Amino acid sequence: MKLIHADIVFSEDREHLAVYEDSYIGVENGLVQGIWQEVPEDLRGAEMIDYGDAVLIPAFTDLHVHAPQYLNRGLEMDLLLYDWLYKCTFPMEARFADIEFAKSVYDAFVDDMLANGTMHACVYGTIHSEATSYLIEKMESKGMKAFVGKVNMNRDALEDLVEDTEASIRETEAFLERYSSNKHAKPILTPRFAPTCTGDLLSRLGRLAEKYEVGVQTHLVESKWEAEQAGILFPECSCDTEIYEKAGLLGHGLLIGGHFIFPKKEDIEILKKYGGFAAHCPDATVSIIAGIMETGSLLDKGVNIGLGSDISAGHHIGVYTQAARAVQLSKLKEFYEPEGNRKISFPEAFWMATKSGGAVFGKTGAFEKGFAFDALVIDGLSDEAGKLTPAKTVERFCYIGTKENIKARYLDGELQS
């Protein structure tokens, strides 16, 4: 057992922050054992780490991020989705056929995620097996909790990124076989989205999902263009999400739907039916996709929602920035479309960034007993003229903080260098 002293803040539930000022958290074997205002008598000889009046918060979870797009962050932000894919994103992803190039990008990507306090993530690779293998091995070696996917797409992309269906299935199965026994970073099926996948490819991925009991991540109703294309290519389906259900991809593991901005009633019903998560990516939605999730409404309907940086449609890898943007966009949504929409509170946004998204990886994202101690120590956010409360410190960090405000990082109870 070791004790860590700080001001402690985490999500008690969707609408409330739990705040323990000047308190001690006990950690043993990487798990939270309890929080106390005073050191219990039987623990007075335990190792003590004192962070004074700095604030201890859970590490962040990124439910939607494209590792190969790391070099494009903050670029081509004036394009909409279709042009952005073909002029910016696909050309970059084609370069990951070069494994040495891929290694240099993925090393920087993983290091930057950790520096910004992201310990858990659902990550897209590319169609390239060797490069994606390096990515999942890198995250596994760091002890990061992750789902990593070799992307599948066999139509409507640049020539260098259109896979032969047989090769796509063969390499995907090999990826599943090789990494399914990983302890931390595990494989997930990753058909990019309906416009880039034939029905045959999706159905065969569905058979792999059943065989290996593995989940799926993809983009769901992320833009009006994507939703319209999905309807044209799969007219037998009532909505985007039903395409994956009919292909047999759902019900075998995790379901993560990126963006989920323009869902029909049927999309919501299917996502909830399989206990899926919608990944809200605020920066990306206004930069590239031009739509705003009905966040408050979807939460009230019982949809599981976490946050995603969506590098590089989103420009900042820190998920904490997306908590702030989620609040801002929900206010815009309510103001311009008041019927059926409501703004969300900051505690709701922080909950999505930590406890809700963290649920994808089990007991993480909070400091309840038995949860993994994946944590950040933040400081340096108060003004000389007035000290912030712990809750206000967390809010300010999400709006104007940087990785320099993260003074320490813990993963499974171990201090990270």
On the 0-12 / 13-18 / 19+ scale of CB atoms within 10 A, 314 is buried
67: helix, strand or coil: helix
The 10 Å CB-count burial string (b at 16+, else e) for 99-121 is eeebbebbeebbebbbbbbbbbb
Contact present, 104 and 135 (Cβ < 8 Å): no
pLDDT digits (tens, 9 = 90+) for 134-160: 999 999 999 999 999 999 999 999 999
* Token pair belonging to 23: 């308190």
Q: What pLDDT sits at residue 290? A: 80
Q: Kindly give the residue spans of alpha helices, DSSP state H, lying in 13-128.
A: 81-84, 90-94, 99-115
pLDDT digits (tens, 9 = 90+) for 95-146: 999 999 999 999 999 999 999 999 999 999 999 999 999 999 999 999 999 9
Closest CA to 4 of 353, 407, 351, 382: 407
Q: Does the pLDDT at position 376 exceed 90?
A: yes
Alpha-carbon gap, residue 296 to 346, rounded angstroms:
12
Alpha-carbon gap, residue 47 to 87, rounded angstroms:
55
Q: What pLDDT sits at residue 14? A: 97
In the block, tokens 């050309």 appear at 91
pLDDT digits (tens, 9 = 90+) for 170-227: 999 999 999 999 999 999 999 999 999 999 999 999 999 999 999 999 999 999 999 9
- DSSP code of 367? -
Number of Cα atoms under 13 Å in the Cβ half of residue 66: 27
Q: What angle, rounded to 10 degrees, do the helices at 319-336 and 390-400 form?
A: 90
In the block, tokens 């894919």 appear at 85
Alpha-carbon gap, residue 227 to 194, rounded angstroms:
9
pTM higher than 0.95? yes
The CA–CA distances, whole Å, from 377 to 8, 361, 390 equal 9, 21, 12
Q: What pLDDT sits at residue 400? A: 98
Q: Does the pLDDT at position 5 exceed 90?
A: yes
Contact present, 23 and 37 (Cβ < 8 Å): yes
For domain 2-58+366-415, say whether CATH 2.60.40.10 is its number: no
Query: At 234, which amino acid appears?
Result: F
Closest CA to 324 of 401, 231, 222: 401
For domain 60-361, say whether CATH 3.20.20.70 is its number: no
Q: Is 226 left (phi over 0), alpha (psi -120 to 50) or beta?
A: alpha
Q: What is the mean pLDDT of residues 50-62?
A: 98
Q: What pLDDT sits at residue 60? A: 98
The CA–CA distances, whole Å, from 273 to 83, 199, 277, 279, 305 equal 34, 22, 11, 16, 14
- Domain locations in the chain? 2-58+366-415, 60-361
**Confidence band, pLDDT 50/70/90 cuts, at residue 87:** very high
